[in-house]
Amino acid sequence: MTDHAALLSVAREAVAKATGIIRSMTSFSVAAKGDRDMVTDVDLAVEDALRAFLARETPEIGILGEERGHEGDKDLWWALDPVDGTANFARGIPLCGVSLGLVDGLKSTVAAISLPFLDVTYTAAEGQGAYAGEERLEASKATKLSDAIVSIGDFAVGEGAEVKNRVRMALLAELGGRVQRVRFLGSAAIDLAWVADGKLDASVILSNQPWDTMAGVLLVREAGGVVVDIDGGDHTVRSAATIAVGAGLRDEIVAAIARAAS
């Protein structure tokens, strides 16, 4: 049986190490890695340091990092985004985070997200609740879209982006006329952590990279929220999209996405 408490301690220490590296590297270079996508020296330094740390502490567990790919066990593995929100970070915008989730089969069971410039760490373990520091989190209880602040994930880039972004534009129109506010924060880790924290009522991320989402998905669920795929079905590591929402708005958000997608 997986010892979630022990692995949560490892995850906490890992993101604390990452936070120290991010805060200490006051100068860095930025390189392109795709269409309107980038990587910094900090992304690479954090991932390399955490890969080495996790290999020492949990050698039996695999790891998938955004920058270096997958190594080891593919049934039980760490999903790591060393700097989620690199575009923000590279411009000095403090909305970025380190995201580390333990994926067991199709779902995450341990999570730690550190927001280095906002001085908060979010953690969760399956069945044990979600926390910001020592404060237990509770997702939004909102039941009306007109009361909701909803974040939307970044627009697609690269091959096929034009077609994918038609849905995003339709979703903006759909939600913009009905919710209290729409926000683009530029970091899936923050989007999901803030749904868990009740700061956001929903987050619609029309993609599902495990390093971006798996830690935050567990936070939302352990805070009493719901995470589904684009069709409203249960979210897993194989999902096409990541829609996180307070339970009272699930049906309305899913219906809005369906209207936009059609």
Query: From CA 61, how far away is CA 109, in angstroms rounded?
Result: 13
* pLDDT above 90 for 262: no
DSSP character for 68?
T
Strand partners of residue 244 = 203, 227
- Give the neighbor-by-neighbor strand order of the sheet with 242-245: 181-183, 149-152, 202-205, 242-245, 226-228
66 is in an annotated binding site: yes
DSSP character for 74?
S
* pLDDT above 70 for 1: no
222 is in an annotated binding site: no
What residue ranges define each of the domains in the chain, with the CATH number in brackets? 6-136 (3.30.540.10), 145-261 (3.40.190.80)
- The confidence band for 32, taking pLDDT boundaries of 50, 70 and 90, is confident
User: Quick one: average pLDDT of 225-244?
Assistant: 96
191 is in an annotated binding site: no
Strand partners of residue 99 = 81, 113
User: Quick one: average pLDDT of 201-210?
Assistant: 95
The pLDDT tens digits of the residues spanning 141-199 come to 999 999 999 999 988 888 888 888 898 999 999 999 999 999 999 999 999 999 999 99
212 is in an annotated binding site: yes
SS3 245: strand
The pLDDT tens digits of the residues spanning 85-123 come to 999 999 999 999 999 999 999 999 999 999 999 999 999
Give the residue among 32, 198, 213 at the shortest CA–CA distance from 108: 213
Angle in degrees, CA 85, 7, 108, rounded to 5: 55
Mean pLDDT of the chain: 95
Query: From CA 141, how far away is CA 12, in angstroms rounded?
Result: 28
The pLDDT tens digits of the residues spanning 43-69 come to 999 999 999 999 999 999 999 999 999
